[in-house]
Amino acid sequence: MYAVRMRLPSPFLAPGLGLALMGCVDNQLSAASTKLAVNPELLDLGVVAPLGSSTGTVSVSSVGLGALTVSSLTISGNDSDVFAIDGDLGGTSLPKGESLDVPVVFTPSAVGAYEADLTVQTDANTGEAAFTVHLRGLGASPSLVVAPSAVDFGHVELGADVFEVITLQSIGPVPATLTSAELTGDGTFYLVELTTPAEIASGASLELSVGFGPLNADPQTAVLTLATDDPDLPSVIIPISANVCLGEGAFDADGDGYSACAGDCDDTNITVLPGATELEDGLDNDCDGTLDEGTEAYDDDGDGYNEQEGDCNDGDAAVSPSAAESENGIDDDCNGAVDDGTDAYDDDGDGFTEQGGDCDDAESSTSPGSPETPDGLDNDCDGSTDEDTRAGDDDGDGYDEATGDCDDGDASVSPDGVELANGMDDDCDGTVDEGTSAWDDDGDGYTEDGGDCDDTTTSIGPHRLEVVGDGIDNDCDGSAE
C-alpha cells in the first residue's frame, strides 16, 4: 500500500475535500507495516560442567515502520529441559527501531551434547511473523592432573623453614574446582595462604605451597587430602614426610635405595643417587653437586668449552676453539692445525717454516735449497734474487743477461760499458773494440795497432803500394814517396 499526499492551494480546495484527504492519511498510518529481525540464527552456549550454567543472548528487533509485539517465546526439542529463557518476555511491545535482548540459560544435567530450538512469535505483518533460533551446548566434566604424588622434604635443619609445591593442572574443557584441602599429621607441616573452594580455569594451574619448619630432628609425616569436582579424581591423598632418612619409614620415591634425606639429589630419577656413574645427560647423576663431570659434556678445564663443543684438549684451559694460536707445537685453537699462522708453521707446504729459514712462507717455490729461477724472487733464500740466472745481475753492474749484459761475470762489460782495445765487447753492442786502435774501421784488414796509419780509408795500409807523387804514405812505411 502506498500513501499519497496532495497539497492543493486553499482557494481551490473544494468543500469537504480536505477532510476526506486527512481521513485517508490517518487510515494509512494506522496500518503501518511491522517487521521482525532476529540475531543470531544459531546460539552456541559453549562448554559447561554438569549442573553448571552459561547464558547467551538472542536479539529480537522491530525493523518495520510500526511497533512490533512479541507474542511468545518458546523452547522446544528433545533437550528443551536444559535450556531456559530468563524472564517472562511474552507480550513485549517493541517500538520502531528498538530491540529486545532475550537471555537464554544453558544448564546441562550430565556430560554430552545438547540441542533445542527457540521460537520467537510476533504480530509482524511484513515478512515472517515467527523466527526459530537453533540452540546448542556441550556438557563436559572437569579434569585434573595433580603432581607430585608424594612430597619428601628430606633432611631439614632445626630453625629452617622450607617449602614444596604441589600443582593442580586443569586439562579438561571446563574449569575445575578444588573444593577443599586438609592437612593431617605432625603440626610442623602447614599450607600457605590457601582459600577453598578455588576454581582453576581450563588450561590453567593452581600451585599449593606446603611449608615445614621442624621443631626437633625427629622424623615427621603427614597426609594432604584434596577434594575436587573431577569425577575421575574426587579425592587425592598425598603423603608428606621430612627427616625420614633411614629404615622402613624412609621415603625412596624412585626406588634407587636412597631417599632425599639420605642424599638422593633427585628422588624422582632412578639414575640419580650418591655414587652413581656420571652420564652425559645434564644431570648430577652422582649427587656431588657437579653436572656431567668426567664426560665429554663437561668443561673440565673451565675454559668455556667441552669436548662436544670442540675443545681438543679439555685438560688445558689455554686450548679451546676461541684460543689464539701460538708457537708451541700445540693446536691452541682446535682447528686441526698446529702453530698455523705463526713462524713455526709451514704455510705454503714446501717443507720449511719461517723458523726453518723460509724467506717467503706464502710462496711454495721459495725455500732454502730451492733452485733459483728468473722470477724476481729469492727462491733459495740466500738473500739474493735471481742470481746465476738471466734475470740476475751477477757482476753488480746494473745489468743482467735479460737486460743486455753480454758478460754478467765482468762488471766492466755492460750496455753502459766503454769500449776498450782489449779484444772484448765492452759495451755489448755485438762488436769488439770498435772505435779503438784495435778495430779495423775501414775494413781493409788492418787496424791502427796492426800498422794501418789511416784506418778511415781502404787505400792506405801496410799492404798497399806507394803511389809516386800523391804526397800520401800509402804503404804506411813512414814516408810519402
Is pLDDT above 60 for 335?
A: yes
Report residue 216 as a C-alpha cell: 626437633
What is 36-139's CATH number?
Answer: 2.60.40.10
What is 144-242's CATH number?
Answer: 2.60.40.10
Is pLDDT above 50 for 11?
A: no
Is pLDDT above 50 for 22?
A: no
Is pLDDT above 90 for 73?
A: yes
- Measure the CA–CA gap between 468 and 458, rounded to whole angstroms: 18
* Neighbouring-strand partners of residue 38: 60
Give the percent of the chain with pLDDT over 90. 43
- Measure the CA–CA gap between 221 and 261, rounded to whole angstroms: 13
Tens of pLDDT, residues 260-276: 777 888 988 999 999 99
Report residue 370 as a C-alpha cell: 730451492
Higher pLDDT, 134 or 51: 134
Give the confidence band of 135 by pLDDT, cuts at 50, 70, 90.
Answer: very high
Which pLDDT belongs to residue 20?
A: 40
Higher pLDDT, 18 or 320: 320
- With H, G, I as helix, E, B as strand and everything else as coil, classify residue 14: coil
Report residue 475 as a C-alpha cell: 804503404
Give the percent of the chain with pLDDT over 70. 92
Is pLDDT above 90 for 252?
A: no
- Section 441-454 average pLDDT: 85
Is pLDDT above 50 for 460?
A: yes
Which pLDDT belongs to residue 141?
A: 92
Tens of pLDDT, residues 290-319: 988 888 888 888 899 988 889 899 889 889
Q: How many CB atoms lie within 10 A of CB 177?
A: 22
Is pLDDT above 60 for 200?
A: yes
Task: List, in sequence order, every beta strand (DSSP E) within 49-192.
Answer: 54-62, 68-76, 83-85, 92-94, 99-106, 112-122, 130-139, 144-147, 151-152, 162-170, 176-185, 189-191
Give the confidence band of 4 by pLDDT, cuts at 50, 70, 90.
Answer: very low
- Interstrand relation of 130-139 and 42-48 (parallel, antiparallel or unpaired): parallel
Task: Report yes or no: 162 and 189 within 8 Å, Cβ to Cβ.
Answer: no
- Section 52-65 average pLDDT: 95
Helix (H) or strand (E) holding 221: strand 220-228
- Measure the CA–CA gap between 317 and 453, rounded to whole angstroms: 94
Q: How far is CA 245 from each of CA 109, 219, 220, rounded to the nearest angstrom?
A: 50, 8, 11
Which pLDDT belongs to residue 437?
A: 82
Task: Report yes or no: 178 and 200 within 8 Å, Cβ to Cβ.
Answer: yes
Give the confidence band of 248 by pLDDT, cuts at 50, 70, 90.
Answer: low
Three-point CA angle 57, 63, 66, nearest 5°: 125
What's the full length of the chain, in residues?
Answer: 481
Sheet holding 235-242, edge to edge: 151-152, 235-242, 220-228, 176-185, 198-200
Name the DSSP letter for residue 402.
Answer: G
Range with lowest mean pLDDT among 158-167, 219-228, 446-455? 446-455
